[in-house]
């Protein structure tokens, strides 16, 4: 008699969804997150925090797939379960922005800044929405905004202190000493020399060693991303560019190389988004203009 297959727990499904998301399988990730949500609901242990994360994760998948309406719905459910979550607020803001609902996007970006004023994506989003709303509504655009919710002080302090605590721990870990900086630079230069010889896999090893000594050197990430592109390891290239852009949201090389990686993964929508972001910073970038024309033909 065949053995009955064990059903996966919601935590296993969540992990599987995360893996699919990392490799650009956004539709499959959304499907798996849906299964995880059902598992949590069937278990009877409806922990609001667990469900909030799952809805937020599925929203991220919908957003990447261009399904902005479903993204908004899931983020709203996530925020109903756990109010003022930074990730669902940012994801809903991005979805509203894509849907050209600029007032609602502005409200969400501003709400995030109430919780933590040090989030670049929220600052960038607020600036973009301010520009869009000024063009649409003129100088009186603020008068047409929906009310911006006031984040309760208790929630603000809790979320802000948690963010600061995590940020402090990361900072303590990532601030290298003088010897580490020198060692990192030496290894980086060895990697650069290997790139010139087109020995990309060996260069990747050197850059990886360098980052162990200094994990805040942006050019090491963008250099390693170039090597990953050269050996067609596109997912890894995206991750390195993500890290570069976390450190510098307008880094031209990171935006261009992530666009190239998205093209390699056939994620043309994400590729176009990166190229458009790059061209806002550097409008006359010929390489980006040419790649944009090439990718737009494939869409």
Mean pLDDT (the chain, rounded): 87
Q: For residue range 211-265, what is the model confidence (pLDDT) as tens digits?
A: 998 888 899 999 999 999 999 999 999 999 988 888 888 899 999 999 999 999 9
Q: For residue range 19-54, what is the model confidence (pLDDT) as tens digits?
A: 999 888 999 999 999 999 999 888 776 689 999 999
Q: How confident is the model at residue 12 (pLDDT cuts 50, 70, 90)?
A: very high
**Highest averaged pLDDT of the listed ranges 120-124, 127-131, 150-154:** 127-131
CATH classification (class only), 10-158: mainly alpha
Domains 10-158 and 178-298 share a fold: yes
pLDDT of residue 186: 94
Q: Residue 1 pLDDT > 60, yes or no?
A: no
Q: 3-state SS string over the chain?
A: CCCCCCCCCHHHHHHHHHHHHHCCCHHHHHHHHHHHHHHHHHHCCCCHHHHHHHHHHHHHHHHHCCCHHHHHHHHHHHHHHCCCCHHHHHHHHHHHHHCCCHHHHHHHHHHHHHHCCCCHHHHHHHHHHHHHHHHHHHHHHHHHCCCCCCCCHHHHHHHHHHHHHHHHHHHHHHCCCHHHHHHHHHHHHHHHHHHHCCCHHHHHHHHHHHHHHCCCCHHHHHHHHHHHHHCCCHHHHHHHHHHHHHHCCCCHHHHHHHHHHHHHCCCHHHHHHHHHHHHHHCCCCHHHHHHHHHHHHHC
Q: Residue 5 pLDDT > 50, yes or no?
A: no
Q: For residue range 245-260, what is the model confidence (pLDDT) as tens digits?
A: 888 888 999 999 999 9
Domain over 178-298 is classified CATH 3.30.460.10: no
Q: Residue 164 pLDDT > 70, yes or no?
A: no
pLDDT of residue 204: 95
pLDDT of residue 278: 93
Domain ranges of the chain: 10-158, 178-298
pLDDT of residue 159: 61
Q: How confident is the model at residue 168 (pLDDT cuts 50, 70, 90)?
A: very low
Q: Residue 152 pLDDT > 70, yes or no?
A: yes
Q: For residue range 278-292, what is the model confidence (pLDDT) as tens digits?
A: 999 889 999 999 999
pTM of the model: 0.55
């Amino acid at each position: 008699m065949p053995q009955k297959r064990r059903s996966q727990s919601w935590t296993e499904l969540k992990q599987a969804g995360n893996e699919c998301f990392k490799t650009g399988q956004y539709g499959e990730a959304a499907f798996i997150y849906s299964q995880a949500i059902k598992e949590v609901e069937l278990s009877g242990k409806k922990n609001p925090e667990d469900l909030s994360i799952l809805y937020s994760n599925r929203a991220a998948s919908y957003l990447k797939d261009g399904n902005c309406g479903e993204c908004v719905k899931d983020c709203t459910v996530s925020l109903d379960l756990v109010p003022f979550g930074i990730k669902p607020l940012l994801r809903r803001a991005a979805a509203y922005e894509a849907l050209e609902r600029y007032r609602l996007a502005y409200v969400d970006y501003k709400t995030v800044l109430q919780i933590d004023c040090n989030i670049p994506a929220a600052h960038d989003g607020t600036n973009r929405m301010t520009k869009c709303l000024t063009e649409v509504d003129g100088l009186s655009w603020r008068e047409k905004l929906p009310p911006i919710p006031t984040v309760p002080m208790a929630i603000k302090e809790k979320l802000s202190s948690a963010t600061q605590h995590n940020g402090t721990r990361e900072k303590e870990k990532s601030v290298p000493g003088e010897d580490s900086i020198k060692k990192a630079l030496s290894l980086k230069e060895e990697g650069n020399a290997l790139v010139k010889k087109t020995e990309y896999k060996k260069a990747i090893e050197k850059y990886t060693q360098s980052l162990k000594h200094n994990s805040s050197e942006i050019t090491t990430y963008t250099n390693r991303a170039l090597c990953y592109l050269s050996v067609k390891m596109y997912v890894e290239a995206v991750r390195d560019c993500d890290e570069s852009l976390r450190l510098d949201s307008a880094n031209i090389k990171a935006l261009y190389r992530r666009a190239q990686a998205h093209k390699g993964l056939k994620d043309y929508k994400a590729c176009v988004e990166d190229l458009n972001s790059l061209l806002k910073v550097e409008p006359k970038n010929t390489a980006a203009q040419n790649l944009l024309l090439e990718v737009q033909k494939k869409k």
